[in-house]
Amino acid sequence: MRIAVDAMGGDNAPLEVVKGCMGALQREKKLELIVVGKKESIRDILGGYDTSRITIQNATEVIGGDEPPVEAIKKKKDSSMVVGMQKVKGGQADAFISAGNTGALLAGALLKIGRIKGIDRPALAPILPTEKGGAMLIDAGANAECKPSNLLQFGMMGSAYMKGVMGIENPRVALINIGTEEGKGNVLTKETYRLLEESGLKFIGNIEARGIPEGAADVLVCDGFVGNVILKLTEGLAMSLFAQLKKEFTQNTASKLAASVLRPGLRRFRGRLDYNQYGGAPLLGIAGGCIKAHGSSDALAIENAIMQAVRFIDNKVEQSITEHIKVGGK
Amino acid sequence: MRIAVDAMGGDNAPLEVVKGCMGALQREKKLELIVVGKKESIRDILGGYDTSRITIQNATEVIGGDEPPVEAIKKKKDSSMVVGMQKVKGGQADAFISAGNTGALLAGALLKIGRIKGIDRPALAPILPTEKGGAMLIDAGANAECKPSNLLQFGMMGSAYMKGVMGIENPRVALINIGTEEGKGNVLTKETYRLLEESGLKFIGNIEARGIPEGAADVLVCDGFVGNVILKLTEGLAMSLFAQLKKEFTQNTASKLAASVLRPGLRRFRGRLDYNQYGGAPLLGIAGGCIKAHGSSDALAIENAIMQAVRFIDNKVEQSITEHIKVGGK
């Protein structure tokens, strides 16, 4: 199995990315990596590391975090992102991983790799932390405007992923809505409800956003606008609450002392809020695996994203999506 | 100034509602209240309380929390909600407050009280807790489907409210979007951006949901679907995080002891998460004040909601909305 990794993407590239690659190679013996980026930088980091399962693929350009996505993909033909995706397109790699510009990755995956046949809109699908583990949020921002048939496909892809990669036998698929009863919501959710009900998926109906953190479903279906709001509010609230808590706990000597006793618990608490623990967000519907690691990924997050791609390939999630689409129809 | 209060709405009615009424009367000497509901129950609670500024208005029916809104409003003509709203319509009361069925209140306000002239869609507009105090979320669920002109009016109404009731001289109005640059988002937000920019409001542009908890804006404009998701996710996440924290802190004797030292800080922390502290959510765009208190309101929350209505009337927020609409146009 070969996976291409964008060595130049993310806040901590290339050092943490290359370190993450080394970690993944130690964990998974059948893995080979194509590390894409500036040859010298990558070589410097690898140093004396056993490189028999690493191929360095030189790419002279880098797409920055703020560049306009489509333009960047079209102009920077020798960027680590474009070159890495071409490895998937050409069949030299089974999946591509990048912690770089999300918009560029989305645009590039569509333009350079292409969709799974039958999928109209690929979706960005991170795993949100919940009290019961994690739930897939699909779509989290690839498609600001959606049709009911897109949301049906999101449900199918999410279900296939949660089964294949997360090992959930029969994932509970729910539609994010503003009320739990059938008939609630806007035109999009009303029609999507009907489609999901007939889909053959384990559709548990509408859920309100209130139910997300407690783990009311395994796959949370919504359009990319709503999903992006959910993703970013979750992130913002967790950060804000933690900062406020810290302030309360460092007010005086007594509270500092007490907080030090609670440190292990606080660390576990914080760990659960950190969605890096789940690796990256797969881009589902792309022909070949494509995973967006968080921009602030450290070596461990990159390693986890690579292991996620390993499970994605091992468990034939792409094939399973293809079959779902054929059976489930349009 | 006279305010009508639905004595029968909410989880803790009528006891906490009536107690909240008594509290508000003590705080505001120019206030008179019309308490609407089952006469005997209200009388029992009032007991020997000085009732010179309270009128009890009998209403024999109650609209339950799960009843279909429009049907309930049409059928239960002698419900506390319908009778209370008629007091506003008839000019006997300046505002109406209820902790009952939100959908019924929305439907009833439209059918029984009516809109401010020029406002196409009234909006439910709670104040979300932020690090800098509170921000108005408008619309939080009254309109699942919106046009750009509706969102423009939400911005105008929210701005007028935050100035009049919360005392913010020049409220910062932001559009909830999935990116900060102009041109981001879906058809609705792209067009709304343009309208808000020309509105004369202090429009600070798009903000991502991540910026809400830190208090990046005073008025958060969005359609009712997105707003409802934001409101309920905020509620659900805060509850879930607090429950997880509690679990960590009660794991053993040492952590329990340490947590007891931190209790005042934890209580402040929890207090800030509790949006009852801001009173209720005004229903803006209705001719006459109408405030939805939270379903789980206790006496203090009801008292706060009444005081909020007092400021709403004192500061002529309705007139200010009317002027905004005339000037700002369509």
- pLDDT by residue (tens digit) across B131-164? 888 999 999 999 999 999 999 999 999 999 999 9
Q: What is the pLDDT of residues B158-190, one digit of tens each?
A: 999 999 999 999 999 999 999 998 889 999 999
Side chain identity at residue B156, one-letter code: M
- For residues A164-179, average pLDDT: 95
Q: What is the pLDDT of residues B80-99, one digit of tens each?
A: 999 999 999 999 999 999 99
**Residue B256 confidence (pLDDT):** 86
Q: Using alpha carbons, select from A182, A188, A163 the residue that is nearest to residue A284.
A: A163
Q: Are B282 and B291 in contact (CB under 8 A)?
A: yes
Which chain B residue has the Cα nearest residue A268? B248
Q: What is the pLDDT of residues B213-264, one digit of tens each?
A: 999 999 999 999 999 999 999 989 988 888 888 888 888 888 888 888 888 8
Which chain B residue has the Cα nearest residue A228? B178
Q: Which pLDDT band, with edges at 50, 70 and 90, does A250 fall under?
A: confident
Residue B87 distance to chain A (closest CA, Å): 30
Residue B93 distance to chain A (closest CA, Å): 32
Domains present along chain B, CATH in parentheses:
1-119+285-316 (3.40.718.10), 120-282 (3.40.718.10)
Name the strand (E) or helix (H) holding A172. Answer: strand A172-176
Interface contact A241-B244, CB threshold 8 A: no
**Residue B255 confidence (pLDDT):** 82
Residue B229 distance to chain A (closest CA, Å): 5
Interface contact A186-B229, CB threshold 8 A: no
Enumerate the residues of chain A whose CB falls inside 8 A of the CB of residue B258. 257-259, 261-262
More confident: A145 or A239: A145
Residue A48 distance to chain B (closest CA, Å): 42
- For residues B295-319, average pLDDT: 94
Percent of chain B at pLDDT > 90 equals 78
pLDDT at B325 over 60: yes
Residue A89 to residue A71: CA distance in whole angstroms: 20
Q: What is the pLDDT of residues B2-46, one digit of tens each?
A: 999 999 999 999 999 999 999 999 999 999 999 999 999 999 999
Interface contact A255-B261, CB threshold 8 A: yes
- For residues B65-84, average pLDDT: 96
**Residue B172 confidence (pLDDT):** 98
**Residue A325 confidence (pLDDT):** 83
Which one of A237, A261, A268 has the shortest CB-CB distance to B237? A237
Mean predicted lDDT score pLDDT of chain B: 92
Interface contact B257-A261, CB threshold 8 A: yes
pLDDT at A49 over 90: no
Which chain A residue has the Cα nearest residue B190? A144
Residue B236 to residue B242: CA distance in whole angstroms: 10
Which chain B residue has the Cα nearest residue A224? B178
Mutation target for B interface from A181, A210, A250, A256: give the one with most B CBs within 10 A.
A210
Which one of B237, B268, B269 has the shortest CB-CB distance to A234? B237
ipTM of model over 0.85: yes
Interface contact A249-B262, CB threshold 8 A: yes
Interface contact B266-A248, CB threshold 8 A: yes
CA distances from B143 to A177, B121, B138 (A): 13, 8, 10
Name the strand (E) or helix (H) holding A272. Answer: helix A263-273
Mean predicted lDDT score pLDDT of chain A: 92
> Which of the residue ranges A218-232, A252-266, B19-33, B108-122 would you say has the lowest mean pLDDT?
A252-266
Enumerate the residues of chain B whose CB falls inside 8 A of the CB of residue A230. 209, 229, 233
Which chain B residue has the Cα nearest residue A209? B233
Residue A212 to residue B240: CA distance in whole angstroms: 10
3-state secondary structure labels for all residues of chain B:
CEEEEECCCCCCCCHHHHHHHHHHHHHCCCCEEEEEECHHHHHHHHCCCCCCCEEEEECCECCCCCCCHHHHHHHCCCEHHHHHHHHHHCCCCCEEEECCCHHHHHHHHHHHHCECCCCCCCEECCEEEECCEEEEEECCCCCCCCCHHHHHHHHHHHHHHHHHCCCCCCCEEEEECCCCCCCCCCHHHHHHHHHHHCCCCEEEEEECHHHCCCCCCCEEECCHHHHHHHHHHHHHHHHHHHHHHHHHHCCCHHHHHHHHHCHHHHHHHHHHHCHHHHCCEEEECECCEEEECCCCCCHHHHHHHHHHHHHHHHCCHHHHHHHHHHHHCC
> Which of the residue ranges B36-40, B312-316, B326-330 would you say has the lowest mean pLDDT?
B326-330
Q: How many CB pairs under 8 A join A and B?
A: 160
Contact residues for A277 (Cβ-Cβ < 8 A; gap 6+): A129, A271, A304
Which one of B186, B244, B257 has the shortest CB-CB distance to A272? B244
Residue B212 to residue B176: CA distance in whole angstroms: 9
- For residues A268-278, average pLDDT: 69
**Residue B277 confidence (pLDDT):** 63
Enumerate the residues of chain A whose CB falls inside 8 A of the CB of residue B144. 178, 185-186
Give all strands of the β-sheet with A289-292 in edge-to-edge order: A54-58, A32-37, A2-6, A95-98, A289-292, A281-284, A123-124
Percent of chain B at pLDDT > 70 equals 97
Contact residues for B223 (Cβ-Cβ < 8 A; gap 6+): B139, B143, B144, B145, B146, B150, B151, B188
**Residue B330 confidence (pLDDT):** 41
Mutation target for A interface from B237, B266, B272: give the one with most A CBs within 10 A.
B237
**Residue B217 confidence (pLDDT):** 97
- For residues A149-171, average pLDDT: 95
**Residue B149 confidence (pLDDT):** 97
0.80 surpassed by pTM: yes
Which chain B residue has the Cα nearest residue A262? B255
pLDDT at A151 over 80: yes
Which chain A residue has the Cα nearest residue B263? A255
